Amino acid sequence: MSTIVIKISELRDIDDENVKDLAEFLEGRADAKVDITSDEITLNFEEGKKIPSRAHLRVLLRKFLHRAELKKEFRMISGKENVFVIKERKKAEEE
């Protein structure tokens, strides 16, 4: 069984509802079993099923941020192999 991890600790700090929405979005789009823990979402793919490419998963995560109107506050980062991170954007300081 293949797994992909999405680190969501910064997203969870803002709103738990967005984490649930993200899990439902990924379960429907990525065709995977989704497990939610305190700081990450794990996608478990069954043997024999086609696993989406990293590029496709990155697009799905960015699409979710756009639809949830979180694109201005968060960004998507590809971590190590099979790991993605949703990070809060740094605020630009005004002088």
pLDDT means per 10 residues in the chain (95 residues)? 88 85 90 90 87 90 93 90 90 68
The predicted pLDDT at position 51 comes to 85
pLDDT of amino acid 5: 93
Tell me what pLDDT residue 13 has: 84
What is the rounded distance in angstroms from the CA atom of residue 69 to the CA atom of residue 10? 16
Residues 6+ away with beta carbon under 8 Å from 62: 71, 76
What are the structural domains, with CATH classification, of the chain?
A: 2-88 (3.30.1360.210)
Q: H helices within the chain, ranges in order?
A: 9-14, 16-30, 54-67
Of 88, 32, 35, nearest to 57 by C-alpha is 32
Neighbours of 34 (CB within 10 A): 17
Q: How many residues does the chain have?
A: 95
CA atoms within 13 A on the CB side of 13: 9
